Structure 1
Amino acid sequence: MSDSTSLTNSVIRSIGRTKSLDASANTVSGWVDAVTHPTWIKNALSGSWLGHQLHPVLTDLPIGAWGAAVALDLTGGEQSADAARRLVGLGIIVSAPAAVSGASDWSSTRGADKRVGFVHALMNASASTLQAGSWLARRSGHRRVGIVLSALGLGFTLSSAYLGGHLSFVRGIGVNRTAFQRQKSSWTDVASDSEILDGTLTRVVVDGVPVLLTRQAGRLRAISAVCTHAGGPLDEGTVDADGCVTCPWHGSRFRLEDGGIERGPASVPEPIWAVSVDDGRILLRSPDAG
């Protein structure tokens, strides 16, 4: 490991251990939870309609706009001044939805991840403030000041992006927790038909894969027992009359019929399993097998 990587990891670990951040982080997280409580807001911000998290898609927009503005500042001269100012302004506008979607994802994290995410958010807020100052300076004729502020703001943005990458690719925040579950092509005996009562949630294992088995209105249903959002145990959740199971960790709701998402923060549907009953025994296999 290079010295720079070792230093960076040390800094991130230090942030994760800084418990003095908890009071502020939990306060802000509570505000976010209150705003995103309505299902349609949570689903919109989580990317439940998109098939994966929305936040990474939106972050490309301000980074691209601000990066292009700095590139014009360095190579375009005075003739690119108006274009660079417009790009700075565009980046400020599109940074707002990126921040809101990121806040929605962050509010479901805990411990060290929440602390690192909080610093990530503070750095992004600082970057947006610097870019706003740059736009105002450019507009009032102080282009050189604006260039300096834009460059500083971009530096904050890229540093913050590194923290975001750490949360996603090192810590696994936002990663589909069922992505590497095995497919089972043959029928596997998992339980007696008489054991599965209507409305109860039972955890069974098929070739090492935890599966939630339940009966709704007399019909057997089976989906992955691992919440796609953060790995919560769905078999310890609650099931409602609408045929949905709610994860006990962060409140994601999935339809038992097809694994579809009714409420985020989950953005990836639950894998479903084919169910058969033979001679009083319940058999499961992957739905596409055979």
Structure 2
Amino acid sequence: MRELLTRLETTTRLDPLSDRMQRSVMSLLRGQRIRDILHGVWLGHPLHPALVQLPIGAWFSAAVLDLLPNQRRAATVLLGVGTVSALPAAVAGANDWASQSREQRRVGLVHALANSTGLLLFSGSLAARLTGRHGVGRLLSMLGLAAAGGGAYLGGHLAYKQAAGVNHGVPELNLIEDGWHPIADLATLPEATLLTRQLNDVSVVVYRDGDEITVMLERCAHQSGPLGQGEVVRVDGKTCVVCPWHGSTFQLGGGEVVHGPAGTDQQVLPTRVIGGVLEARLP
């Protein structure tokens, strides 16, 4: 299985189709607001993995009820709930997929194919049950559950092996030692200028706005883009930094994500000034 997934990650045969589909998704979901909603910016957490719980739970529960007597109606209701709720989950997943790296999109494409196959089988099962063919409906449900299970396995590979959708900045916290660490002399920090400094072996950005000073992990939460090379902008009256790679936007005051594709906040470090020296530590 590991060898198969490695081949899937490295094959280039899927790239032409993947690139065309990426352009299509980006074209259909052009509005920044709708994309932010689908990324889970408002939630502070990727939305797709939260949405998939409902269809998977409903489909699996329907399969259990299929094994029990006198549960046809309940199983059919659950099957319908799972099938309908899979649609917004698929849209959110497509939105996330379009902003991923090429290697992640290769696996994500097969992940989507498996889940789409499962959705078609569950839809067929629902149609069969509603027309009284419950035996066929149960068979199609079991096949759909197998396809969705394969898709879920690939989704786990995307998250845990390829780090799709996770906060790429947070692991760097493990490289910072406990205690306060000097960052820079306060007198040397210019106003409204994004600077890059080192804290142990971790790169951080420093931004001064009057008496307010932000020290933030420099590697973007989305795909480790260099925020130190980003642009400082104002969004809804808040000073923010925009990642130069994919446009994820974070408030410089508290690290809150304002625009995706990042779905989680950027980590900000506590600061203090001692003897004219700016210091920072682990949260």
Give the TM-score normalised by structure 2.
0.89
SS of residue paired to 1:68: helix
Q: Distance in 2 between matches of 1:91 and 1:84?
A: 11
Q: Structure 1 residues 184 and 205, CA, compared in 2 at 3 Å: closer, same or farther?
A: farther
- Percent identical pairs in the alignment equals 35
**1:55-94 to 2 correspondences below 5 Å:** 55-76=48-69, 79-94=70-85
Indicate yes or no: 2:173 matched with 1:207.
no
Matched-pair contact (CA < 8 Å) for 2:36–2:261: yes
Contact 1:193 1:277 in 2 (8 A): no
Q: 1:250 to 1:141 in 2, by over 3 A?
A: same
Q: Who is 1:253 aligned against?
A: 249
Rounded Cα–Cα distance in structure 1 between residues aligned with 2:250 and 2:183: 25
Paired residue for 2:153, among 138, 150, 162?
162
Q: 2:187 corresponds to which residue?
A: 193
Which deviates the most, 14-23 or 269-278?
Answer: 269-278
After alignment, is 82-91 or 26-35 more displaced? Answer: 26-35
1:223-262 aligned within 5 A: 223-242=216-235, 243-262=239-258
Preserved contact between residue 44 and residue 257 of structure 2 (Cα < 8 Å): no
Residues 1:189 and 1:25: Cα distance change in structure 2 (over 3 Å): closer
Q: Is the deviation greater in 206-215 or in 82-91?
A: 206-215
Question: Residues 287 and 123 from structure 1, CA distance in 2 versus in 1: closer, same or farther, beyond 3 angstroms?
Answer: closer
Cα distance per residue 1:184-207 (max 9 Å; x no partner): 53241435633x444432210112
Which residue pairs with 2:165 in the alignment?
174
Tell me the residue number matched to 1:286. 281
Match for 2:96 among 105, 120, 126?
A: 105
Q: TM (normalized to structure 1)? A: 0.87
Question: Which shifted more, 33-42 or 125-134?
Answer: 33-42
In the alignment, what sits opposite 1:3? none
Q: Secondary structure at the match of 2:13?
A: helix
Residue of structure 2 aligned with 1:53, choices 46, 51, 56: 46
**Could you say if the C-alpha distance between residues 183 and 38 of structure 1 is closer, same or farther in structure 2, counting changes exceeding 3 Å?**
farther
C-alpha deviation, 1:106, in angstroms: 1.1
Equivalent position of 2:23 in the other structure: 30
Aligned to 2:122, the other structure's residue is in SS state helix
Conservation of the 8 A alpha-carbon contact between 1:61 and 1:91: yes
C-alpha RMSD of the superposition: 2.2
Given that 1:273 and 1:284 are in contact with CA atoms closer than 8 Å, whether structure 2 keeps it comes out as no
In structure 2, what is the Cα distance between the partners aligned to 1:204 and 1:184?
Answer: 18
Flag structure 2 segments of 5+ consecutive residues without an equivalent. Answer: none
Q: Note the alpha carbon deviations across 1:213-257, whole angstroms, 9 max, x for none.
A: 123468543211111122111011111144111112221100111
